[in-house]
Structure 1
Amino acid sequence: MSITAHPRHSVPLPGGRALVNGFAYESRGDGQRRALLMHGHELEVHDVHEVLAGERAPTAVFPLPWPGWDRGVHSVSPDGSFAVFSGQRAIRAVGRGGETLWEYRHGCWGPEIGHPHSGDEQEVCRGLEHGSCRVSDDGGLVWAHVVGAEADTGAGDGNGEGEDEKTWGTERWVVLDARDGRELARLPLDSVAAGSHHLSHPDGVHVGLCVGEGQDGVRVYWARWDGEKLTAWDVGTPADRILADVHPRHAGFLTVDHYGSDLRLHALDGSVLATAEPDHAGDEPLGWDYGCGFVDADTVIASTVDSDDDPDAGAHWLLDARTLETRGPVDYPARPADGWVRPLGDGTWLTYDEESETLHRWSASAS
Structure 2
Amino acid sequence: MSIHARLLGSVRLPGGRALVDGNVYESRRDGSRRALHFHGDDLEVHDLEDLFAGETAPETVFPMPWPGWDRGGASVSPDGTFAVFSGQRAVRAVGADGATLWEYRHSCWGPELDHEHTGDEQQLCEGYEHGSVRVSDDGLLVWAHVMGDECEMWAVLDARDGRELARLPLDDSFAAGSHQLSHPDGVHMGLCVGMGQDGVLLYWARWDGERATVRDLDESLDRILMGVHPAHEGFLTVEHYGADVSLHALDGTVVAEQSELAWDYTAGFVDAGTVIATTGVLYGDEDPRHWLLAARTLEIRGSVAYPGGPVDGLVRPLRDGSWLTYDEKNETLSRWTVR
**Shorter chain as normaliser: what TM range?**
over 0.9
Distance 1:87 1:135 in 2: 15
How big is the shift at 1:278?
Answer: 3.2
How big is the shift at 1:307?
Answer: 8.5
Is 1:362 the counterpart of 2:336? The answer is yes
Distance 1:347 1:248 in 2: 11
The structure having more radius of gyration, on CA atoms, is: 1
Amino acid at match of 1:303: T
Corresponding residue number in structure 1 for 2:169: 188
Name the SS of the counterpart of 2:280 in structure 1: strand
Name the SS of the counterpart of 1:126 in structure 2: coil
Distance 1:334 1:125 in 2: 47
TM-score by length of 2: 0.97
1:64-92 CA deviation, whole Å, 9 max, x = no partner? 11012111121000000000000000000
Distance 1:53 1:334 in 2: 22
Is 1:272 the counterpart of 2:284? The answer is no
Correspondence list, 1:49-198, <5 A: 49-119=49-119, 121-149=121-149, 167=150, 170-189=151-170, 190-198=172-180
Distance 1:188 1:237 in 2: 16
Corresponding residue number in structure 1 for 2:15: 15
Name the SS of the counterpart of 1:313 in structure 2: coil
* Contact map agreement 1:336 1:352 (CA 8 A) in 2: no
Question: Quick one: structure 1 residues 236 and 68, their matched pair in 2 at CA, closer, same or farther if it must change by over 3 Å?
Answer: closer
How big is the shift at 1:236?
Answer: 4.7
Corresponding residue number in structure 2 for 1:43: 43
Uncovered stretches (5+) of structure 1, i.e. residues with no partner: 150-166, 280-286
How big is the shift at 1:188?
Answer: 0.5
1:39-79 CA deviation, whole Å, 9 max, x = no partner? 11111000111111111011111111101211112100000
Corresponding residue number in structure 1 for 2:294: 320
1:246-280 CA deviation, whole Å, 9 max, x = no partner? 0111231100000000010001111110000133x
How big is the shift at 1:306?
Answer: 7.5
Name the SS of the counterpart of 1:133 in structure 2: strand
Q: Size of the alignment, in residue pairs? A: 338
Identity %: 68
Corresponding residue number in structure 1 for 2:277: 302
How big is the alpha-carbon RMSD for the aligned residues of Structure 1 and Structure 2? 1.4
Uncovered stretches (5+) of structure 2, i.e. residues with no partner: none
* Contact map agreement 2:264 2:281 (CA 8 A) in 1: no
Question: Quick one: structure 1 residues 114 and 336, their matched pair in 2 at CA, closer, same or farther if it must change by over 3 Å?
Answer: farther
* Contact map agreement 1:337 1:355 (CA 8 A) in 2: no
Corresponding residue number in structure 1 for 2:210: 228
Is 1:200 the counterpart of 2:182? The answer is yes
Correspondence list, 1:204-353, <5 A: 204-279=186-261, 287-305=262-280, 309-310=284-285, 313-335=287-309, 338-353=312-327
Question: Quick one: structure 1 residues 338 and 349, their matched pair in 2 at CA, closer, same or farther if it must change by over 3 Å?
Answer: same
